[in-house]
């Protein structure tokens, strides 16, 4: 993994920028069943904290998805700048197959739906597996 400092890293202006940052930071999965939240400010700069949520096996749970939304709703106002509102990037890290599984798709769909319902600006849902990272949604 590449050592990046959010204060000196280039801004995340495009989906490709986000995908490269995910690959640089999380790249190949080293742990199982972890959901990472990366926050981006209104100037498209990554916030200095990445939040792991561990033990995320099985299908998405409505209560857990709602709780994640509450956490994100509490953080994003602090990331608003004169240029715009903050946003979130999700990365599901898991061991196993390198292709997108139905469970990965279910998590992506649940996270996208939660963000739409709450009006949260989302910059993508990515998957980190042992050999690569890829965008799911």
- pLDDT, one tens digit per residue, over 104-137 is 999 999 999 999 999 999 999 999 999 999 999 9
Tokens, residue 56:
């995320």
Q: Is 114 within the bounds of a domain?
A: yes
- pTM recorded for the entire structure: 0.93
How many angstroms separate the Cα of 92 from the Cα of each of 7, 22, 40, 80? 24, 11, 17, 25
The per-residue pLDDT for 1 is 36
Give pLDDT tens digits for 50-108: 999 998 888 999 999 999 999 999 999 999 999 999 999 999 999 999 999 999 999 99
Give pLDDT tens digits for 32-52: 999 999 999 999 999 998 999
Confidence of residue 2 (pLDDT cuts 50, 70, 90): very low
**What domain range is 77 assigned to?**
15-86+107-125
Q: Is 9 within the bounds of a domain?
A: no
Contacts for 121 with CB less than 8 Å, ≥ 6 apart: 76, 85, 86, 87, 88, 115
Question: Does residue 3 register a pLDDT over 70?
Answer: no
Q: Is 1 within the bounds of a domain?
A: no
Burial letters for 82-104: b for 16+ Cβ neighbours within 10 Å, e otherwise? eeeebbbbbbbbbeeeeebbebb
Q: Is 77 within the bounds of a domain?
A: yes
Confidence of residue 5 (pLDDT cuts 50, 70, 90): low
Q: Is 75 within the bounds of a domain?
A: yes
Using DSSP's 3-state secondary structure scheme, residue 68 falls into helix
Q: What are phi and psi of 115, to 5 degrees?
A: -65, -40
Total structural domains in the chain? 1
Q: Is 3 within the bounds of a domain?
A: no
More confident residue, 118 or 26: 118
Q: Is 135 within the bounds of a domain?
A: no
Q: Is 58 within the bounds of a domain?
A: yes
CA 96/CA 66 separation, integer angstroms: 27
The per-residue pLDDT for 57 is 82
Using DSSP's 3-state secondary structure scheme, residue 134 falls into strand
The per-residue pLDDT for 55 is 85
């Amino acid at each position: 993994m590449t050592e990046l400092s959010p204060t000196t890293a280039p801004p995340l202006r495009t989906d490709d920028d986000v995908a490269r940052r995910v690959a640089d930071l999380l790249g190949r999965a080293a742990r199982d069943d972890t959901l990472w939240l990366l926050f981006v400010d209104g100037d498209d700069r990554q916030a200095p904290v990445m939040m792991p949520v561990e033990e995320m096996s099985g299908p998405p749970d409505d209560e857990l998805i709602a709780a994640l939304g509450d956490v994100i709703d509490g953080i994003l106002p602090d990331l608003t700048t004169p240029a715009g509102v903050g946003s979130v990037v999700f990365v599901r890290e898991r061991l196993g197959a390198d292709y997108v599984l139905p469970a990965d798709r279910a998590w992506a769909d649940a996270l996208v739906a939660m963000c739409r319902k709450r009006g949260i600006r989302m910059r993508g849902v990515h998957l980190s597996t042992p050999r690569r990272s890829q965008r799911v949604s």
